[in-house]
Amino acid sequence: MKNSDSKYLNRELSWLEFNQRVLDEARNPTVPLLERLKFLAITASNLDEFFMVRVGSLQRLVEQGRKSKDPAGMTPRQQLVAIGERARQMIQEQYACLTDDLEPELTQAGMQRLTRAELNPKQTQSLEHLFDTEISTILSPQAVSSAKDFPLLKTRQLNMCVRLTPNEEDEPRFAVIPFTGPVRRFLTVASEGAYTYTLLEEIVELFIDRFFPGDEVVEAVPFRLARDADMSVREDAALDLLHGMEEVLDARKISACVRLEIAERASTPMVNFLQSALAISNKETYKSPGPLDLSAFMQLSDISGFDELLYEAWPSQASPQVDLTASIFDTLSQHDVVLYHPYDSFYPVIRLLEEAADDPEVLAIKQTLYRTSRNSPIVTSLKRAAANGKNVTVIVELKARFDEAQNIEWAKNLEQSGVQVIYGVKGLKTHAKVCIVVRREPYGIQRYVHFSTGNYNEITAKFYGDISYLTADNDLGADATVFFNSITGYSQPQQYRKLDAAPLGMRETIIEMIETETRRKEQGQKASITAKLNSLVDPEIIDALYAASQAGVKIKLNVRGICCLRPGIEGLSENIQVISIVDRYLEHARIFHFRHGGDERVFISSADWMQRNLDRRVELLIPIDNPSCRKQLIAYLDAHFRDNVKARILTADGTYLAMKRKERSKPFRSQLALFEQAKQAVKDAKNSRLAVFEPHRASSGR
């Protein structure tokens, strides 16, 4: 990333540097081979979404003639130019990683990709049979005489463009073969002693003439496109939000093309034809020196027989904080619980909903759902609770990008089961993660609450690092109820006892906490700020951090992805350190720690420090007042800042450097340390129970 006179880094270029850190893991020889392939696939998937959302938005700004600059001083057009340069460099590195690093090693390990030129006669004959009996019966070529009759192609779908000999008028002729339906991308090839495969496009091209009997095929080239996905429903004009979101999904199918990927061997006539048909230029065209859609290579990690090429299993641990032999309500009545997934099992969260669904004393369940799994046990519990006569209200966020279709399905399904479904707040996304269980107990009504930094998704909880906080705290229970009812009842937001929420109040609270540290330092007191989050973009918060740094406050930031703050600039940010950790688990937790004169303040949150979270989403900032839970969270933060294996340090110019290990210091990988810590906690709890002797008592009848 280039230097700039601005005190902020550009958001889009910062994101590309995050994707580079993921790519660095794909090229890291200490990472297991198939895990490296997975990291490579993730970078390709990430880049797809980046173009569909961020680049699509910038292109529309340019089309509208917008010239306003971002905080880093760049116009939309300048950003697009910089993105294009950086993305092309990254794509070249992706293919170098695949062809120079990974595939030679995979071949040695017994997993080999063959091109059509490398197939022997026996393999070719077998694949010819597959083509005749399966592939050619599923795929259908579509003749294209002009851009007007170009077929509607799905975003991110692989296709083949075919150039035929010109007609009698010497006009070029083209056809497109969309790779739709149940066709396999990776085709097994018979071989001895290895898993050998070839790609669908290789076989289609090998036998392409059979699609066009009597015609001569000049060339056949794979391509794919990405469409603009940064569009939203006009909520002020939508009488039915669910129907409006369905219209948005339909609109994405025909939205403008923001990127064309095509094999670099494509001829100029082929490229010109596709550019004309898709209404794009060379700036949106990316030529690939290898197989298109590298994200699909994630499938190879599921091939059996190659476990030694994957990470060793790190099974989630059953946290000793939760006694699985007792009621979850009894546990939470005695103490609060903090879980760090995936080191700690997500099951206690599922258990809370499962037990609540069947407990006759539970009266109501209130829950937000932003993203969840396809076969969610939590949704099953909510439906069962409604069937059991409990009052169940769920806020399903229909506007969760790329999960809209699944959330629409869940919303309809829940409504049919008797659940009251709310589609969030008009003009905002409901991104807060909270579940409230209302239970009748001998002394009155008790609320049990779960707050989280991540989604209610038991699948992603196995590889996303997130915090769960379960509590029966009366103030937090009251706040959570007020928060929920203000959304479902269209009422004005009320004053909270402990919580803070976006878009009203959260930014102010965060800045106030930063400024409090600044004032304490100016008064000669000790002051520090430690924070872990996914993105730091908001200029107001960055400015507050700069002011704190100038006052001498020591600030440590663990920012996984985008960071627009420039650390280490003398007179501005020399007291700020920013690290980023990319490892086997996706760092997703948001934890904030302010020294506050020794009266430490710790928070977890669903929100990153970005304008979209603080201004355009419904979010929660949750204070952790329980001393034991607060101590746990500070220890998690400290562990990540001790990382000298996977941590990278952000420099003032926006680049990241590997952490330099101090002389004679031992390697410390925070994710491994946290997994070992979770295992040790289970072992210690087991030993503690064994150390207690419980006598058999005589029955009272003797």
Catalytic annotation, residues: 431
What contacts 24+ positions apart, CB below 8 Å, involve 567-570? 567/650, 567/651, 567/652, 568/651, 568/652, 569/7, 569/652
With H, G, I as helix, E, B as strand and everything else as coil, classify residue 599: coil
Work out the burial of residue 268: count CB atoms within 10 Å of its CB; fewer than 13 is exposed, 13-18 middle, 19 or more buried.
exposed
Question: Whole-angstrom Cα distance, residue 540 to residue 600?
Answer: 23
Q: What is the token pair recorded at 460?
A: 């992603």
Work out the burial of residue 63: count CB atoms within 10 Å of its CB; fewer than 13 is exposed, 13-18 middle, 19 or more buried.
exposed
Residues 6+ apart with CB under 8 A from 524: none
Question: Whole-angstrom Cα distance, residue 566 to residue 516?
Answer: 22
C-alpha separations of 168 from 144, 165, 171, 172, 173 in Å: 16, 9, 7, 10, 11
Question: Whole-angstrom Cα distance, residue 611 to residue 107?
Answer: 47
With H, G, I as helix, E, B as strand and everything else as coil, classify residue 118: helix
Helix (H), strand (E) at residue 446: strand 444-452
Helix (H), strand (E) at residue 84: helix 76-96
> Strands, E, within 511-571: which ranges?
528-533, 554-559
Q: Which amino acid is at 446?
A: Q
Q: In 207-259, where does DSSP find H-type helix?
A: 241-252
User: DSSP label at 134?
Assistant: I
Question: Whole-angstrom Cα distance, residue 463 to residue 313?
Answer: 12
Give ∠ CA 407-408-411 in degrees, rounded to 5: 85
Question: Whole-angstrom Cα distance, residue 458 to residue 557?
Answer: 28
Question: Whole-angstrom Cα distance, residue 421 to residue 430?
Answer: 13
CB 354 within 8 A of CB 381: yes
DSSP strand pairing (464-471 vs 586-587): parallel
User: DSSP label at 641?
Assistant: H
CB 106 within 8 A of CB 112: yes
User: DSSP label at 256?
Assistant: P
Q: What is the token pair recorded at 316?
A: 């989630």
Q: Of 53, 51, 77, give the one whose Cα is nearest residue 65.
A: 77
CB 455 within 8 A of CB 586: no
Adjacent-strand bridge partners of 500:
621
